[in-house]
Structure 1
């Protein structure tokens, strides 16, 4: 008897897959045709710089919120895996609230709700922060993404084999050294894709801040449309958002190839 493994022929896409690809291709062609047919150089010349300014605001807003959320997520994730019941309960309540309520409601609670306590904030010298829509947007997005990132980090840490903990402890390493030098680097490889997905979701969710007068990309798009009533304003915004997501996708693929190159044989 031959011990050779059977040759498995690659599966061909089914009818549903072909129809889905055809639909996406038609949508792409339709988008390009609409932009080309209705191209207005005056619109681009007048509102192009505003779009770029809004794009910069969106990028800065998302990056700042993501970094702050990443810092906040570490103690929350540690609380989720803690054996102390109070720490575990507080971390669970934090994650449950911010993942279970709409982001728009959280932004409204911060921007409009905290205004009810203006006197208290003026007393402690924090009213300058909560009266500014920009700071309220960063504050809300940071708290929201921290809850999601905490769950990503918790799952990634749980995915590291227990033998890694035991092997590091057998060398007499302190717990914090084991976590930061052994466990966390391996967990980051697992968490890379979920983190990239979280940034993509933040890019799309950041459009909500336009309702509290932050002129990000979507805010500038709304202003351009209100003055021109040209629906192409929203199509150009969609192009910018798609470009951001695609750039992030390629950056994630590059980072993943670099991180796991030692695992390939």
Structure 2
């Protein structure tokens, strides 16, 4: 029994040849999903606040669907539902892509976090004072320079508190990867529980690891807030 527990600890924390550990897989899923979602959502958030309905409506529909349905259902549709279609299996690239649990999990996570992040950034863009935009226009900024040097930097700074919550939620959401047989922290904890019946130990260890990662991320975002949002802190009276 002790040897079996040590084996699962090794799968969670220590590298074993070319195999990733459970912690490494969880962090890999998190970094890939939030990085891709972050980059895509910047462009979508600009379209979301556009005055052109043909730009705004498709983005609104995308965020409405992915924020209105559970991530678990989205993962099941992408991993199991799409691969059951003949059109997917008959296409060489699509068949290669959707038969992988890793790729399906990443796609589901990216689409989900992109929807939420788009709305976060769009709200931050709307909150920018009109005076800043008018000042940029007075200096002769084009729309491209306006978004690049004024709107996007200001919106990203304002969105840090809300975006930090989204990153933590995405860390927790990676635990659904076991659905696609991806060996993340929860998948290894479930395997340990099924082999040893030590439910409290198996899932307790997983909970502690998730907490440690969460608190580390919270600390990093607090540092970012103190650096980039210091000008928004209330002035201290003498």
For normalisation by structure 2, the TM-score amounts to: 0.89
Query: 2 CA distance for matches of 1:118 and 1:57?
Result: 31
Provide the residue aligned with 2:121 in structure 1: 153
Q: Which residue number in structure 2 is paired with residue 47 of structure 1?
A: 8
2:190 alignment partner, one of 222, 231, 235: 222
Deviation at 1:42, TM superposition (A): 4.5
Displacement of 1:45 in angstroms is 2.2
Indicate the SS of the match to 1:125. Answer: helix
Counterpart CA distance in 1 for 2:155 and 2:88 is 42
* 1:125 Cα deviation after fit: 2.3
Aligned equivalent of 1:144, options 112, 123, 134? 112
CA drift of 1:261 comes to: 4.0
Which of 234, 238, 252 is the aligned partner of 2:203? 234
Query: 1:126, CA displacement in angstroms?
Result: 2.6
Aligned to 2:172: 204
Q: Hey, what's the Cα distance between the residues in 1 that align with 2:193 and 2:174?
A: 19
Contact 2:158 2:229 in 1 (8 A): no
Root-mean-square deviation (CA, aligned residues, Å) is: 1.7
Separation of aligned partners in 1, 2:56 and 2:66: 16
Question: Does residue 1:179 correspond to 2:179, yes or no?
Answer: no
Is contact 1:118–1:127 with CA below 8 Å preserved after alignment? no
CA positional deviation for 1:61: 0.2
Q: What's the CA shift for 1:46?
A: 2.2
Contact persistence 2:11–2:22 (CA under 8 A):
yes
The SS at the match of 1:126 is: helix
Distance in 2 (CA, whole Å) between partners of 1:162 and 1:118 is 52
1:117-128 aligned at under 5 Å gives the runs 117-120=85-88, 122-123=90-91, 125-128=93-96
Q: 8 Å contact 2:5–2:192 — kept in the other structure?
A: no
Please list every run of 5 or more consecutive structure 1 residues that lacks an aligned counterpart in the other structure.
1-39
2:85 match: secondary structure: helix
Distance in 2 separating the partners of 1:90 and 1:84: 11
Q: 1:120: Cα distance to partner?
A: 4.3
Equivalent pair of 1:69/1:143 in contact (CA under 8 Å): yes
Flag structure 2 segments of 5+ consecutive residues without an equivalent.
14-20
* 2-structure distance, mates of 1:43, 1:116: 37
Q: How many Å apart are 1:43 and its aligned residue?
A: 5.5
| TM-aligned CA distance change 1:180 to 1:124, over 3 Å | farther
